[in-house]
Amino acid sequence: MQSAEEDLLSILKDAGVDFLATLPCDRVKNLIALSDSMFQRLPLTREEEGVGICAGAALGGRRPAMIIQNSGFGNMVNALLSLTQFYELPLALFISHRGIYKEGIAAQVPMGRAMEGLLKGAGIDYDEVNTREDFHSIREALPRIFNEGRIHAFLLSPALWEGSSATFAAAPASCVCHVAPSCPQSSPAASTLTRYGVIRALKPLLRNQVVICNLGVPAKELHELLPQPSNFYMLGSMGMVTPIGLGVALTTRKRVFVIDGDGSLLMNPGTLATVSLAAPENLTLLAIDNASYGSTGNQPTCTRTCVDLELLARGLGFAHTAKVSTPEDILAACTEQPKGPLFVHIPAMPGNSGASNIPTDRLETKRRFQTFLSANS
């Protein structure tokens, strides 16, 4: 018997879907990994760019679909309405509907509850897909999507994948662009630590400092290694940790450390230009680059094949950068704050530590953090 993932992908194949764009979600990681054997798939850095890419594919006669998580739907609404819907282009959206069924991450709940209302408000037709019996709605809707030039969303409940026999490891994604041999490279730094090891090496530097930490497993690992009131833990809003850190740095004289990751930076790289423009002298960005979306199944990011984050930061205006990987070099690079923002690129090995969920209530975390900031700020 086929798995639910195989059944769904077969339906897409039978309907003529021939272009797939994806962003990872832990609940559909096997669906995405299995799709590589059946479709031309393009991994995305942000949902909005996927709308544009799929619009171009549709203009070229392809039948595009996207697999995303509902937390990212807000990143694409304008493009869906002003591009895809406006030009009556076809797009099938397969949305992992987090926040409703057996959700363990509280930050997923608000968007999960709002999802149907947002789709209705945007005038986008949708179907709830809670069991395999609901796959009939996908079979019926797909021909209309492509024949009539419509957007249609399918809200995929995590219940679909319970008991599934599908277990597929994410394969390294090929990238359509590669750094040319003549491109000047920043100094190499071989990975010797996982992200957990990097954070552990940073403990002496981060103790009693203002720290804004990326969402998911990184926040859990920071809490396990260095729980302190001066930490602000991201629980949702991927790609926003550096913007939050910039805002904090502009309102305090304290030194501010941001723990960001390759997936989040690639989702919102333009914020590095804004940091360069604002030029806060008290901001240090710690870019822990394990070339993976670590919290959703270690799917590869483009830093594995063709993107150098330190070069990206330089190109977007950072005058002070470093690429380091050993505990000693990491501490040495971060100890002195230059006059202007500092970008520290830390290559790391993929892997999660299994750190427990953060037990502190989000509002208590905010209160403690604000109290720390207000003291001698």
Q: What are the pLDDT digits (tens) for 26-73?
A: 899 999 999 998 998 888 878 988 898 888 888 878 899 999 999 999
Task: Decide if 190 is inside a domain.
Answer: no
Mean pLDDT of 291-303: 85
Do 272 and 205 lie in one domain? The reply is yes
Task: Decide if 169 is inside a domain.
Answer: no
Do 152 and 265 lie in one domain? The reply is no
- pLDDT in the model for residue 233: 92
Do 315 and 362 lie in one domain? The reply is yes
Do 127 and 199 lie in one domain? The reply is no
For residues 171 and 299, the answer to whether their CB atoms sit within 8 Å is no
Angle at 320 between CA 319 and CA 321, to 5 degrees: 120
Do 108 and 220 lie in one domain? The reply is no
Mean pLDDT of 286-300: 87
Q: Beta strand 299-300 with 320-323: parallel, antiparallel or unpaired?
A: unpaired
Work out the pLDDT band at 168, boundaries 50, 70, 90: low
Task: Decide if 66 is inside a domain.
Answer: yes
- pLDDT in the model for residue 377: 64
Do 202 and 251 lie in one domain? The reply is yes
Dist CA 198 CA 329 (whole Å): 11
Dist CA 283 CA 333 (whole Å): 14
Q: Which domain holds residue 225?
A: 195-374
Helix ranges, 108-240 (H): 109-122, 135-148, 195-206, 217-225
Work out the pLDDT band at 184, boundaries 50, 70, 90: very low
Dist CA 305 CA 21 (whole Å): 18
- pLDDT in the model for residue 27: 93
Q: At residue 182, does pLDDT exceed 50? A: no
For residues 128 and 96, the answer to whether their CB atoms sit within 8 Å is no
- pLDDT in the model for residue 54: 87
Crossing angle of the two packed helices 4-14 and 135-148, in degrees rounded to 10:
30
3-state secondary structure of 231: strand
Give the count of domains, the chain.
2
Q: Which of 302, 327, 326, 300 is nearest to 190 (CA)?
A: 326
Among all chains, which residue has been given the structure tokens 């604002």? 278
Task: Decide if 115 is inside a domain.
Answer: yes
- pLDDT in the model for residue 190: 67
Q: Beta strand 299-300 with 292-293: parallel, antiparallel or unpaired?
A: antiparallel
At 245, which amino acid appears? Answer: G
Q: Which of 46, 64, 48 is nearest to 56 (CA)?
A: 64
Work out the pLDDT band at 185, boundaries 50, 70, 90: very low
Q: At residue 278, does pLDDT exceed 50? A: yes
Position with higher pLDDT, 223 vs 250: 223
Task: Decide if 84 is inside a domain.
Answer: yes
Do 201 and 140 lie in one domain? The reply is no
Do 28 and 128 lie in one domain? The reply is yes
- pLDDT in the model for residue 24: 87
Q: At residue 162, does pLDDT exceed 70? A: yes
Do 151 and 228 lie in one domain? The reply is no
Mean pLDDT of 275-289: 93
Task: Decide if 49 is inside a domain.
Answer: yes
Domain-ending residue, one of 161, 186, 207:
161
Do 274 and 353 lie in one domain? The reply is yes
Do 136 and 255 lie in one domain? The reply is no
Task: Decide if 187 is inside a domain.
Answer: no
Q: Round the average pLDDT of the chain to a whole number and report it.
A: 89
At 105, which amino acid appears? Answer: I
Q: What are the pLDDT digits (tens) for 112-152?
A: 999 999 999 999 999 999 999 999 999 999 999 999 999 99
The least confident of 12-21, 63-72, 235-244 is: 235-244
Dist CA 72 CA 94 (whole Å): 12
| Residue 365 structure tokens | 């975390």
| Residue 366 structure tokens | 């905010």
Q: Beta strand 125-129 with 151-156: parallel, antiparallel or unpaired?
A: parallel
- pLDDT in the model for residue 166: 65
Greatest mean pLDDT range, 11-25, 290-304, 359-373: 11-25
Position with higher pLDDT, 6 vs 1: 6
Task: Decide if 181 is inside a domain.
Answer: no
Domain-ending residue, one of 140, 161, 182:
161
Dist CA 145 CA 17 (whole Å): 11
Residues 6 or more apart in contact with residue 259 via CB below 8 angstroms:
199, 211, 212, 213, 214, 218, 222, 241, 286, 288
Could you count the other beta carbons within 10 Å of the beta carbon of residue 148? Answer: 10
Do 21 and 77 lie in one domain? The reply is yes
C-alpha separations of 244 from 57, 98, 155, 168, 233 in Å: 35, 24, 30, 35, 11
The radius of gyration of the chain's CA atoms, rounded to the nearest angstrom, is: 21
Residue 51 sits in a domain whose CATH number is 3.40.50.970
Greatest mean pLDDT range, 67-81, 171-185, 287-301: 67-81
Dist CA 153 CA 76 (whole Å): 13
